Structure 1
Amino acid sequence: MDPQSTYDRIAGHFSETREYAWPEVESFLEGRTADRALDVGCGNGRHTEPLSERARIAVGVDLSRGLLREAVRRARERGFDDRTAFVHGDAAALPIADDAVDLAVYVATLHHLSPRTCRIRSLNELARVLRPGGVALVSAWSTAHDRFDREEGFDTTVDWTLPGGETVPRYYHVYDPEEFEADLAESDLVAVDVEVSSGNCYGTVRDPETTV
């Protein structure tokens, strides 16, 4: 049930259901520009695309080679492949140099990592690659969503059903909002704003070296 094999198995069908960027991501990106941008857990590239419109180059990193193939295909078909690069890599060990990006999104991926130490390590990796002055958006599933009836964070699996009826379990850590904020505080990132929107936790964060 590791994320790589899970998403390699469902990549094609999953990509078909992930066409548009989330409104919260579009709102975060509004008015922002960058030299280099990063999409951590890029999936099929639906958020790499708006990043590429605001940066000289946007890099998408994902653990699933199947999803990376979908991202490359999407970029070619939609005409943003000249402004993007897609790289196989782990969110907890990013194949990106220190202080390399000005702008990043880390959306709907953090909650797939286990245990907590791995989630914190991935947040530290994001802090490492952000340049001074860099800013990022982090999101994760939350207990605030109507589908959950628990107040405290918990681990669970959610099945993905393929067209033939096969079910593929996906691991999630569902955050309670206070826990999400605590993990950001535990990391090397500096939280600028934390909120719940559409049942998900969102944190706007900056690199630790920037002074306000």
Structure 2
Amino acid sequence: MKGQEWYQADDVAEEYDEKRFSRGGQLIDRREKAAVLDAIMPLEDKKVLEIACGTGRFTVMLAARGANVVGLDISAAMLQQGRTKARAAGVSENLEFLRGDAGRLPFPDDHFDTVVAMRFFHLADDPEAFLSEMRRVSKHQIVFDTFNRFSARSVYNWALPMGSRLYSKSEVSVLLAKTDLTLTDVEDDFIVPYGAYRSIPNVLASPIRTLDRAVGKFPASDHLASVSYWNARVR
């Protein structure tokens, strides 16, 4: 994985949510959570693994809606933030945080109903291997997102501290075929890239987002979207 030392630093974990999901970033957080829920609902008693769970944004949300969740991340500092969130939300009983490597998942085959990996594939140095491992431990479903190569994301990609891998639709389709996964649905969004939203107050980001979504309704805009949310099923 790229930038592991940077990602695992205590100060990065402490500031992670504030830097990415405050201000206009609240709109990103809301959209990402909606994408995950739309893909995997209903959640009652469903066994879910989230890879690269970070500070527990999704794991806590899923546990609060009745899923039995395991969140796995390489950063002990990020996991500690997640545990604090889980206690505050009162969902610690059906949510477990583990430190581990996404390339060698410590679970048996077909152990989970659904495996989720958000904000992960743009950092994966071997996406096929990681997707294959996710497929191994899932009985039914894989949900993940990618940043798109032919989008505004590429303009500022070089400035990110961990670097970022961008994908074309055809590349992801090939990955799904190689790992014996069948595409159920894909949603494209955010013609204006994430970084622009995070840099401005919510009061300014909201009208930009409204325009972004209006433009995004045109079929041709799919080629300009900076992010895609993928929902695939195990064959």
Give the alignment's TM-score, normalised by structure 1: 0.79
Contact 2:187 2:229 in 1 (8 A): yes
Is 1:147 aligned with 2:153?
yes
Q: What's 2:98 paired with?
A: 87
Q: 2:13 aligns with which of 11, 17, 21?
A: 11
Give the secondary structure class of the aligned counterpart of 1:7: helix
Q: What's 1:162 paired with?
A: none
Cα offset for 1:56? 4.6
Q: Output the CA distance in 2 between the equivalents of 1:69 and 1:158.
A: 28
Structure 2 CA distance for partners of 1:43 and 1:85, relative to 1, 3 Å: same
Q: What's 2:230 paired with?
A: 203
Q: Output the CA distance in 2 between the equivalents of 1:96 and 1:51.
A: 20
Q: What's 1:97 paired with?
A: 108
Q: Output the CA distance in 2 between the equivalents of 1:201 and 1:29.
A: 16
Name the larger-Rg structure: 2
Structure 2 CA distance for partners of 1:71 and 1:157, relative to 1, 3 Å: farther
Cα offset for 1:190? 2.4
Give the secondary structure class of the aligned counterpart of 2:165: strand
Cα offset for 1:203? 1.6
Q: 1:113 aligns with which of 104, 120, 124?
A: 124
Give the alignment's TM-score, normalised by structure 2: 0.72
Cα offset for 1:49? 1.7
Bigger share in strand: 1
Bigger share in helix: 2
Q: What's 2:89 paired with?
A: 78
Q: What's 1:187 paired with?
A: 179
Higher relative contact order (CA 8 A, sep 6+): 2
Q: Output the CA distance in 1 between the equivalents of 2:78 and 2:50.
A: 13
Structure 2 CA distance for partners of 1:143 and 1:34, relative to 1, 3 Å: farther
Deviations 1:46-92 (A, max 9, x none): 11122213445200011112211111111112221111001111222
Q: What's 2:130 paired with?
A: 122
Contact 2:181 2:232 in 1 (8 A): yes
Contact 1:38 1:101 in 2 (8 A): yes
Q: Output the CA distance in 2 between the equivalents of 1:202 and 1:51.
A: 17
Q: CA RMSD in A?
A: 2.3
Cα offset for 1:34? 4.2
Q: Output the CA distance in 2 between the equivalents of 1:95 and 1:3.
A: 23
Q: Output the CA distance in 1 between the equivalents of 2:71 and 2:47.
A: 11
Unaligned runs of 5+ in 2: 22-28, 191-225
